[in-house]
Structure 1
């Protein structure tokens, strides 16, 4: 059994060749002359096994590998930063002898690169497991073609290595994982860290423990900072460049729907088995709506995302409920006054809420950014219109005057929706604190009334 690795060399090809052809790692003592043996003995500081010379060249000599590779690169001209490639083929401890490893390594290199490229093959014996080193010239000695080092080449190296191992009666890793198109994910996992896909998978699993419908599932993902594309069934967080299809992390539409159905069934059974006659929720409309939004408020990673637009949503919902139910008494005097003007107030509040949704406004900061952008756009248009007005006062010709008037008219038309957008955003910014205080007042009164109601029910 052998594992393989392959990576580019960016700086010094000779240093890599010298490392691969290091006699301290590749040579047995009985193959060296006395002086070299004495020098190596002096340099050694641990007990290493006896070693023989295991160095071989493919399309180059082992003695002059660097010079011959350098000659090919000079002949065709090396392009880019890569001056060579360094690979390994490591065998399990006790799986092969050095001689077998050398034969397998040479056969692997010959099949991988022997038809077009030069390679040096060595076997190192300085660790517990015998391993081959490959140093490959990136420039072809035939036509100067540069080796591309694509992911397919890494897979091919593994395939050839496995084939050579089988021919020599060794085992191979069947169906072992390969990092494929997610190289960064592979190395993050190797270092014990998580990727954004891992965090997404955990969040989806978390939502699927609560949600009972596709709409509820989508709203819970949104509360965690994600947006769901129901057509592609993909999810994207705020700062991600690309969406992630849920099917690619193990959540197909069928799997998600099955879990939602299971949750809905469990919730129904729990309700029917442990049913207690509750207080009438219509008596406390704001409490009821807050319970519906409980997930977004308690579990949101960014509490600001459920602020301004949620305030308007709650006010609209409570006033609608109060307007539709004749015997419902709102506790806050301000909300009771709003109920009397419900038709007028609702129309304006709904328009404000739709505006925030269209402009993707959630927080006060979003609102202020929208106001600043509108002011800047108005300023630019006003400057352009003023320039045209000056040209109209001093026309060069009647045709120029007519054309400038048309342009000024078009700019005025562009300014109208920007002014309306600015006016509405400023009004919402001014109105939202009052609405927030109104909701707080109603919520506090409802909580006290609900507590009294429950005390009477006991």
Structure 2
């Protein structure tokens, strides 16, 4: 109606307001803005519930279609349906930078989702945990599960909280929880007991990855000399199917390369735990 009115005014020589200023927001606009904020709030809560590190949180936001900006004082996001960024702290006191990081690294959330984390990877850790409790696991398998058991990441339900020093270790572990989960999965899935076993498995990963890369390159080379559109599409699909497999092997190799370093850290932490218990026991005897 506004456009029609402006055209009529111009046709009959009447004035037209070209620049409108101080136009108040309509009720519909305010309702939409409020609804958008609640949608963002729900998405943020969902991303926090499945994230254990800030990096994973930002990745989850991207998967939901958000853009984000990070500064020293603010985290701002842009909803896929919005044209402007909104500061998360405007959503409430639970969404300040400090509170968000605390919620992401929350000890209780880490504790409650031990088994579910492995379920997300499509790997059932429960049989190995049962073997651990029965003292039937050895080597790296026992070491990695014992570490998660001591920190009360496994099992899922624990009646007691670890001491403050253990909670600090839990926060450290939570920052690398995806890595530890993947490493434990690989160790159990490929029956890795020793570092020698690890090197054999890594050699197998490298050989398989090189084979897949060579096959993918062969398909791509064939595309260059092919004139049949149907055949070209089939070759493209075959090459595309190999890409996620190569990516997974590359990811596994990366996790394997860190297993030795991670095992040294775990051993050191567990030894310190034993030494602390020993010192407390001796002090109790003296008293």
- For Structure 1 versus Structure 2, the TM-score category normalised by the shorter chain is 0.3 to 0.5
Q: TM-score, normalised by structure 2?
A: 0.46
Q: Which has the higher helix share?
A: 2
TM-score (norm 1): 0.30
